[in-house]
Amino acid sequence: MKKGWRNNYNDKLSWFEVLGKDLKFYIKDLIKRFKNNGRLPVIVTYPDFPSKRTTIFKIADQLNFRITNKLVADARVFLFFEDQTHSVLPTTFASLSNRILNDKVLDISKKKVDHVHLEVFGYNTIIDPTTFNGKAVRKSDKNALHDGEVIDCPIESSDPNSVYQIVIDNSFDAHHVVDFRVPVIAGEIPLCYKKFKEYKVRFTNDVSSSTLHSPKEIFSDTELTMISDFANKFELDFGELDVLRHGDGKIYIIDVNKTPYGPPFGLALEDKEKAVSMLTASFKKNFL
């Protein structure tokens, strides 16, 4: 990682690009300081510096906070921010006395998600492909690869780097499926999105359109309690969950996102602005 003056950046960037980014963020932070009457509160995301498309970046902008992956001692919020399926908590955190959000979220593999789901909901998705009869979904256990495929079971042997799950019927119409993206902030669910995808790309991140909803428009009170219980059991302080509803009515949490991007593609501009405002209000209430 290249160490800049304001932030640390990807090693792939040239020093010229690092300087340019630092200058851009310095000017942006000056404007934020002016809007905050001379103050510049800080949110630290460590070790990664977030993309401008991430939710936390947009929340920091709306709050007029500086966001950095430098360990600024007097930061208002520290967020463990690393886009990896399996993580190790940085040793540098040991010197901090502050609360660190998501510091217990070190494994977001599909196997871990399924295990916690079974504990909370009493049912799960993973099957043994060598004994199961019928259609199943094979996908990598790593997060965000979007490589799911439907296979016929039983098979002779399973891949230890893959998971095998039931096929969840989340069809919306003859051509589309619908996924639910559920932000969770300290156990609170401020809003939900519906993400519509064409059948042929159902296991990818290619979204045709999205809509913004109140959580109670999509889930029952019991389901919302169980989703919050899942997030608490997972020790997810700040993140988003991917949830599917099967044809039999049951809901399944299939992914945990600890470095979420959002609002999702295809959402109306007015709803994007509304969503960021709602997420910011929840973040401010729970963490500031």
Domain boundaries, the chain: 2-101, 110-124+168-287, 126-167
For position 97, what pLDDT does the model report?
Answer: 84
Render each residue's pLDDT in the chain as its tens digit; 288 residues. Answer: 899 999 999 999 999 999 999 999 999 999 999 999 999 999 999 999 999 999 999 999 999 999 999 999 899 999 999 999 999 999 999 888 889 999 999 999 999 999 999 999 999 999 999 999 999 999 998 887 888 899 999 999 999 999 999 999 999 999 999 999 999 999 999 999 999 999 999 988 899 999 999 999 999 999 999 999 999 999 999 999 999 999 999 999 999 999 999 999 999 999 999 999 999 999 999 999
> Which residues on neighbouring strands pair with residue 137, listed in sequence order?
150, 165
For position 117, what pLDDT does the model report?
Answer: 98
Do the Cβ atoms of 213 and 190 come closer than 8 Å?
no
For position 173, what pLDDT does the model report?
Answer: 93
Three-state DSSP at 117 gives helix
- Asked, as a colleague might, if the bond just before 263 is cis with ω within 30 of 0, I would say yes
**Sheet with 162-166, edge to edge strand ranges:** 149-153, 134-140, 162-166
**Cα distance between the two ends of the chain:** 29
For position 146, what pLDDT does the model report?
Answer: 81
CATH homologous superfamily of 110-124+168-287 equals: ATP-grasp fold, B domain (3.30.470.20)
What single string gives the DSSP state of each residue in 94-114?
A: GG--S-EETTT--B--HHHHH
Torsion of CA 261, 189, 277, 172, to 10 degrees: 60
Do the Cβ atoms of 155 and 127 come closer than 8 Å?
no
For position 44, what pLDDT does the model report?
Answer: 97
| pTM confidence score | 0.94
What single string gives the DSSP state of each residue in 147-202?
A: --EEEEE--S---TTEEEEE----B-SSSEEEEEEEEEETTB---EEEEEEEGGGT
Q: What single-letter DSSP state applies at residue 284?
A: H
Q: Structure tokens of 173?
A: 């119409």
